[in-house]
A = this chain, B = another copy of it.
């Protein structure tokens, strides 16, 4: 009576599909749990109602070999059991991303993960055509993480309705919205008629499809589960409805290995939520997500206390108009976790200061972040006649920075483990090393930002031979200057955005 695959790859999605009770409200009235048992793990997870009398339980195995499962609950008078086999992961499947060496990330199979993120808040709720274009663009670029929302977005440049809503019901009339009046509707639910206890399963099915598409592109889905840009009441539901939502999202999505949980975007802009609420959601995740996906919470103004144990990494929006990535060292020291700069202003030209810096400035911020041992994030907000801005809608990219991120990604990929650590350089440089040998390391990276030195000098020891490369981070060139030892003099072109990479000669 239940459907499932006979085999699944390690870190793949194993799913059991079953009929169940559909009277009353199946989202609230019934329970369903699956226990999955292999030689090296046993995990119990919640299932969920997927409409049309169908229930599902999903599981992500972390080991290979033979597994059995049992599904039961009030949703059915029957107990469902079965067995399946977990095979080796296919190429490109490295498992979920974990924190590695305190400040960095690696996939569960140990492959380092150098995060280069982007933000397209509601790309998956745009027209089918635009979504396909977004995936096409992602395929051609270096981004390996994308932040987006489960709920639709109400904000400047975001007045039209999404392709679907997360709940059954009808939304307010969006044709009344203008740039001038939209703020009056923010956080209100008047004019809407949603049942916050009945999910629109199509909405979630669709999001899952997109999470899977991203997985296949090797891109992490940093899911923004809650956000305050709302005219439908989704940001102001009761505690009970919030918890129901969290559990539903986790039951549906946690078996996807590329999922990260961003509890909220700009958590501090919710008018009614308290730290108690966020901590309660965090407890739900920690309890219900059997795979310990990465967890963060993103600020507008003040940071959430990133030192809380459930937070795996800092998801940071810059707090200063001028300094962003430059503060990474401070944040690393303070939180001792990976620092992910999810918003440090976007390349573009809209009216707002958060969305109108140049490609050069954003690329500079990326390098500042990387060389300080952090992970930068992109967004793009160019005014377009069609009103499509990458930052919210996806589509195509118009900026100059993404090309440079491909180049940066190559440099990132060439960083040895355990990854870059900011080191005390001269006062007028960003200096990083990798802790490989003592006292001289095998890898050093120096970045000069907007400064334009015509030469610099370096000294590590008298005997080690180093290969010196001059990197033009904007023009995307790497010039090998040869092998040196002792005091190393490096002539530079007197241009902005230069870096010098010094590695122990082979």
A contact set with B: CB distance below 8 Å:
321-323, 326, 348-354, 356-358, 361, 383, 426-429, 450-457, 494, 496
* Chain B residues within an 8 Å CB radius of A496: 358
Q: Separation in Å of the A363 CB from the closest CB of chain B?
A: 13
Q: A358-B496, A383-B494, A494-B383 are in contact. Are A453 and B323 (CB under 8 A)?
A: no
- The listed residue (B326, B356, B426, B427) touching A494 by CB distance below 8 A is B356
Alpha-carbon distance A453/B348, docked complex (angstroms): 8
| CB contact under 8 A between A353 and B451, given known A383-B494, A494-B383, A496-B358 | yes
Question: A430's closest neighbor in chain B, by CB?
Answer: B321
- Smallest CB separation, A410 vs chain B (Å): 27
Q: Which of B350, B429, B456 contacts A454 (CB 8 A)?
A: B350
User: CA of A96 to CA of B451 in the docked complex: distance in angstroms?
Assistant: 37
* Best-buried of A352, A353, A357, A429 by chain B (most CB within 10 Å): A353
CB of A367 to closest CB in B, whole Å? 14
* Complex contact A350–B383 (CB within 8 A): no
A349 cross-chain contacts in B, Cβ below 8 A: 452-454, 494
Other A-B contacts than A321-B428, A351-B457, 17 sampled, CB-CB below 8 A, are A321-B326, A322-B322, A322-B323, A349-B452, A349-B453, A349-B454, A351-B453, A351-B455, A352-B428, A352-B453, A353-B428, A356-B451, A356-B454, A357-B450, A357-B451, A357-B452, A361-B450
Instruction: Verify A353–B323 contact, CB threshold 8 A.
Output: no
Residues of chain B within 8 A (CB-CB) of A426 are 353
Check if B429 sits within 8 Å of A353, measured CB to CB.
yes
Assembly CA distance A67 to B15 (angstroms):
105
Interchain Cβ contacts under 8 Å between A and B, 27 examples:
A321-B427, A321-B428, A322-B323, A349-B453, A349-B454, A349-B494, A350-B453, A351-B454, A351-B455, A351-B456, A351-B457, A352-B428, A353-B426, A353-B427, A353-B428, A353-B429, A353-B451, A353-B453, A354-B428, A356-B451, A356-B453, A356-B494, A357-B450, A357-B452, A358-B496, A383-B454, A383-B494
A450 touches B383 (CB 8 A): no
CB contacts (< 8 Å) of A494 on chain B: these are: 349, 356, 383
> Which 3 interchain pairs have the tightest Cβ spacing?
A353-B428, A349-B494, A356-B452
Contacting residues, chain B, for A455 (C-beta < 8 A): 351
The residues of B that contact A358 with a CB separation of less than 8 Å are 450, 452, 496
CA distance A357 to B449 in the complex (A): 10
Give the most central of A326, A348, A450: most B CB within 10 Å: A450
Q: Which residue of B lies closest to A349 (CB)?
A: B494
Complex CA distance for A322 and B365, rounded to whole angstroms = 12
Give chain B residues whose Cβ lies under 8 Å from the Cβ of A357: 450-452
Q: How far is the CA of A346 from the CA of B72 in the complex (A)?
A: 72
Chain B residues with Cβ below 8 Å from A356 are 451-454, 494
Chain B residue at smallest Cβ distance from A347: B452
Output the least CB separation between A64 and chain B (Å): 50
Tell me, in angstroms, the Cα distance from A454 to B454 when the chains sit together. 35
CA distance A450 to B354 in the complex (A): 12
Q: In the complex the two chains form, what is the Cα distance from A383 to B454 in whole Å?
A: 8
A325 (CB) vs chain B CBs: closest residue: B322
Residues of B within 8 A of A352 (CB): 428, 453
CB distance from A353 to the nearest CB of B (A): 2
Determine how close the nearest CB of chain B comes to the CB of A324; give it in whole angstroms: 10
> CB-CB < 8 A to A451: which residues of B?
353, 356-357
Q: Tell me the complex Cα distance, A348–B322, Å.
A: 22
User: Roughly how many angstroms separate A242 CA and B18 CA in the complex, as a whole number?
Assistant: 94
Q: Which residue of B322, B348, B429, B453 is within 8 Å of A326 (Cβ)?
A: B322
